[in-house]
């Protein structure tokens, strides 16, 4: 046999690298697929949670169409987050610097509104954090809120809880 017709037996480094990359991608995919279906460890203190989510830049029709008592869920993880307790609607505004006077003024945006959706849910207090159906919530948490008549992405602006009996 001459050198051009002889084949090396075994696996080369490139084949090994490709194989390892395929295995790594499969492991990462399995982690993310199973991550949303984790079994609850429990062990937290049961609490009744009242929280407010502020959703900005809504049209008048959407801002006034929320249904009190309707179920709320997170639009990303699809976790149930309780029920709508009340909705507060105010005109949307922003702060603008007046270049002539140097003052900062509050300016309302015509036809746009901010809705503060107040929700109530049963959850757990785990290690100083509030968890509702495996969704950890706190003031400043971004929530993709979905409910009958209203949906949008906003931030939790208020949160209160009361411990309940088991």
Residue 5 lies in a domain: no
pLDDT > 90: percent of the chain: 50
Longest dimension (CA), the chain: 91
pLDDT at 32 over 80: no
Q: Which residue has the higher pLDDT, 78 or 31?
A: 78
13 in helix, strand or coil? Answer: helix
Q: What is the pLDDT of residue 166?
A: 60
Helix (H, G, I), strand (E, B) or coil at 17: helix
- Domains identified in the chain, total number: 2
Same-domain status, 79 and 155: yes
Quick one: 91 and 25 in the same domain? Answer: no
Q: What is the pLDDT of residue 27?
A: 85
DSSP state letters, 34-61: HHTTPPP---SEEEEEEEEEEEEEE-HH
Residue 23 domain boundaries? 10-39
- Can you give the pLDDT at residue 125? 92
Quick one: pLDDT band at residue 127, thresholds 50, 70, 90? Answer: confident
- Confirm whether 102 is domain-assigned: yes
Which is more confidently placed, 162 or 42?
162
Indicate whether 75 and 151 sit together in one domain.
yes
Same-domain check for residues 30 and 87: no
pLDDT in tens, 87-103: 999 999 999 998 888 89
| Cβ contacts of 162 within 8 Å, gap of 6 or more | 47, 48
Domain annotation covers residue 137: yes
Q: Report the C-alpha gap between 10 and 84 in whole angstroms.
A: 64
Q: Is residue 34 domain-resident?
A: yes
Same domain for 115 and 63: yes
102 and 25 share one domain: no
Q: How confident is the model at residue 42 (pLDDT cuts 50, 70, 90)?
A: low
Q: Is 1 inside any structural domain?
A: no
Query: Residues 98, 81: one domain?
Result: yes
Bridge partners, 83 (sequence order):
71, 120
Give the model's confidence band at 2: pLDDT under 50 very low, under 70 low, under 90 confident, else very high.
low
Residues 117, 80 within the same domain: yes
Whole-model pTM? 0.69
Q: Kindly state whether residues 98 and 30 are assigned to the same domain.
A: no
Mean pLDDT of 103-126: 92
By the 10 Å C-beta count (0-12 exposed, 13-18 middle, 19+ buried), 157 is classed as: middle
Q: Are residues 58 and 120 in the same domain?
A: yes
């Amino acid at each position: 046999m001459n050198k051009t017709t002889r084949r090396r037996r075994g696996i080369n480094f490139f084949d090994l690298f490709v194989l390892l990359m395929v295995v790594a991608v499969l492991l990462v995919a399995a982690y993310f697929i199973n991550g949303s279906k984790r079994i609850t460890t429990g062990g937290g203190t049961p609490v009744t949670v009242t929280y407010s989510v502020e959703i900005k830049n809504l049209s008048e029709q959407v801002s006034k169409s929320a249904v009190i008592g309707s179920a709320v869920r997170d639009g990303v993880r699809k976790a149930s987050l309780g029920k709508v307790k009340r909705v507060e609607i105010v005109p949307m505004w922003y702060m603008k610097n007046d270049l002539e006077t140097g003052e900062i003024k509050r300016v309302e945006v015509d036809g746009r509104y901010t809705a503060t959706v107040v929700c109530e849910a049963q959850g757990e207090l785990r290690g100083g954090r509030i968890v509702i159906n495996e969704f950890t919530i706190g003031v400043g948490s971004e929530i993709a809120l979905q409910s009958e008549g209203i949906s949008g992405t906003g931030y939790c602006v208020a949160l209160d809880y009361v411990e309940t009996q088991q």
